[in-house]
Structure formats: structure tokens, C-alpha cells
Copies of this chain bind each other. A is one copy, B any other.
């Protein structure tokens, strides 16, 4: 299996686990947990597909992703006490998903000739807005808007992507460095507990 495919699946799994755990805290039933796992994983990509006009949105054509996410939701419910101990592994996969999904969004934007800013926004939406839908459904102000370096990592990674591309590095190197920078910034922010400033 291709390296990027593995990361993609890892990211999808991490997002689905995060959605399911958030739903359990809000006492959802099994159906609700599956939906939350689902929108957390594929919500960002769905919004991106809608904004650029790519229909049917991709997951409708990909039953394996649907099954994977429902399976992960069920496994998370069954083994939730054990999964919470996997904190560090989940953070790693979540960061990898963040990097990969950002890259994916940028590439989708480039494929229809959007400019730098639109591409970086699409990358950030792909990576982060599944979590925004999750929090909105769970009746909370999206964490993304309140704390942590999360979208910021996507934006910096996106800027780096266009910089490295401009100076003429080969595509694969540009992509790898982009994903690595996003993962690195995110893991560093988690480790050091860094957030963006709030406005008083």
C-alpha cells in the first residue's frame, strides 16, 4: 500500500475515534456516535467538495470508508477505556491526518486552478472542519475557534507548500515537507501546550 494511503487511513481512523469519544461524553446513543464519528472524519472533505462543486461528494462513492468509520466507532465504544490510554498514538495519527488532509485540500484547489489563498483555505477546511461540525452538533463552540495551534499549522504548512513549489523543488519533496511541517508544528504545540492569543 502506498505511503500516503496509509496516512490517509490513519487520519480517518484518528478523526473517527476523536468524534466517537466526544460523543460518548455527551451521552449519544450508538447511532448518534456513528454519525459523529462519520462527520468528524469526512465532514471537512465534504464541505470542500461542495464548495468547489465536486459531486457526488466523494465518500458516497467509497463504501470502504463508510464501513471503516462505522467499524472504528464500534471498536471505540467497545474498547473505550483502553483507547483513552492510546492518547499519544491518537495524537500522532491526528497530526498525520491533519497534514495529509491539508495537502489533499490544496491539491483539489490547484486541480481547478484556484489561487494560493483559496487553496490554503480549502486545505484548512478539509483538515479542520469535520471537527467544527462535530462540535456544532454536540452543542459547543468549536474548539478550533477557541484554542490550540491546529488550523494555524495547516495555514503555515500551506504557505510552505507554495513557497517550496515556487523555488522549484520536485513535487514529492514539496508534498512530504508540507505534511512533515504541519505534523511537526502540531506535535510541538501539543507538547508545549501552546495556543493562539485570545482577545480580551
Contacts and interface: CB of A to CB of B under 8 A. Distances in A.
Interface of A: 23-24, 26-33, 35-36, 46, 50-53, 55-57, 60-61, 63, 66-67, 77, 80, 109, 112, 114-118, 121-122, 132, 136-142, 144-147, 151-152, 195-199
16 contacts: A27-B146, A28-B198, A29-B198, A30-B197, A31-B144, A35-B145, A50-B50, A51-B57, A51-B60, A52-B56, A53-B55, A56-B114, A63-B116, A132-B137, A137-B142, A139-B140
**Among the interface residues A27, A114, A147, A199, which one has the most CB atoms of the partner chain B within 10 A?**
A199
A105 to B, nearest CB: 12
B141 A29 contact: no
Q: Assembly of this chain: how many copies?
A: 3
Contacts of A26: 141
B67 A32 contact: no
A117 B196 contact: no
Contacts of A114: 56, 60-61
A67 B137 contact: no
Contacts of A140: 139
Nearest to A116: B63
A178 B108 CA distance: 39
Given A114-B56, A118-B60, A140-B139, A145 B199 contact: no
Nearest to A119: B60
A29 B77 contact: no
Contact of A66 (B31, B67, B117, B141): B117
A117 B122 CA distance: 28
Contacts of A198: 27-29
Given A137-B141, A145-B29, A121 B66 contact: yes
Contact of A196 (B31, B132, B138): B31
